[in-house]
Amino acid sequence: MSDEAHSFTYRRPSVLDGDRLGLETAGGTALAGPVGNPRFFTGFLTDAAPAAGGLQAVARVARSRYPELTGRPAFRDPVVTCNGDRLRFESFSRCCGVYARLDVLSDGLDGEVHDRGTTNVDINEPLRRMLARVGGRDPLHLSVGPDDLTATTPDGSVVEKKVPLPRRWLRGFAEVQVITAGFEPRAELSAVEAARLLRSLPSRSSGALWAVPAGRSLRLTGSPTPGAVWVTSPDRLESLVLLLRFARALRVYGPPVRAGSHPVASAWELDLPGMRLVLALSPGRNRGFSGEGAVLDALASDDTETDAELIGALLSFEPRVEVDLLAERSGLPQPRVRDALTQLGTAGAGSATTSPRRPTSTANCPTTRRPRRR
């Protein structure tokens, strides 16, 4: 019988904080096999300037509230996901009425995906200042892991640590997924038309404001018609305006409406080199996504739980979800597939992303929550 010595390295002690127990491990398993300290992604963002601007936009939304509050703000910061074929940065405004998402697609990444996973990090003032100085030819390197994000530019490196995720955001993520799943494309504007439209929007709108397709652009009107998109409080689209110099197109999504329709949510997708920035607006300035109740409606069916077990078995942790393909494989109609995906998402079992109805399947307006890897 021989003696064997095993050495384990822990980056920090396990901690009991009130009713929360945080257990630290000596390693983990990534897609390539066991590793000492797993990472999700390490590499460069190939279009550094728009990527830096997009990251600032997502962080800016997290620091905003509509209407504004007086007193000391409670900042929240983006959730970062390595989804296998993209890096995703998400946040809500402090009121949960604006959802922001930056998807850096495979064309915008030059690095190595080690694993899939999600973390939420604090993007503080030093990193925001560093991102603001990134120019068109500057390199931007990111390293994303379960506990931190490290950004490196010619000015140096900044490490952002994991922070707690607000419970209201968890409800908001599920609500946005369900609400936007029924969106349809309403308009696609060139960069020039997008700039003209966004810069013409009033900074604040107290009355009804709808955008109706008109030729290659949208025109504003006070009443809904089929194909219209609700755009009350257009100042909530400010983050798109700040990135117009990089834009290639603007796509607008919304649910079906008719004459006399009540306010509805909308989604605005700015097409950038190698990435997309999406802002989803709640139906009202004082309405947050976390309280819309769409998830409860989607989970009301008696078949949802059983359907979720079937769909979960078919997902196999693919980075993307095609609802029509899942419907074909499962024999379920598409509405029941979407309800099953909602069940998986609210349970933390989703592993991929669904898409709204549009000519191509790369917009990914709604999002299903991925499991967190520890």
* Tens of pLDDT, residue by residue, the chain (374 residues): 555 554 545 555 655 555 544 544 444 444 455 555 568 899 999 999 999 999 999 999 988 887 665 445 555 678 998 888 899 999 998 888 899 999 999 999 999 988 888 888 878 888 999 999 998 889 999 999 888 899 999 989 999 888 877 777 877 887 888 888 789 999 999 999 999 999 988 876 656 789 999 988 999 998 899 999 998 788 899 999 999 999 999 999 999 999 888 889 999 999 999 999 999 999 888 787 865 555 555 555 667 777 777 767 767 556 566 777 878 878 888 777 777 776 666 555 433 344 333 322 333 444 333 333 33
Question: What are the distances in angstroms from CA 241 to CA 81, 94, 215, 318?
Answer: 25, 20, 21, 34
Nearest to 96 by CA among 256, 290, 250: 290
Nearest to 188 by CA among 279, 266, 249: 249
Domains of the chain: 41-165 (3.10.150.10), 185-288 (3.10.150), 299-369 (1.10.10)
Rounded to the nearest 5 degrees, what angle is found at the Cα of 284, between the Cα atoms of 282 and 286?
Answer: 105
The whole model's pTM is what?
0.77
Q: 367 with 81: CB under 8 angstroms?
A: no
Q: 294 with 178: CB under 8 angstroms?
A: yes
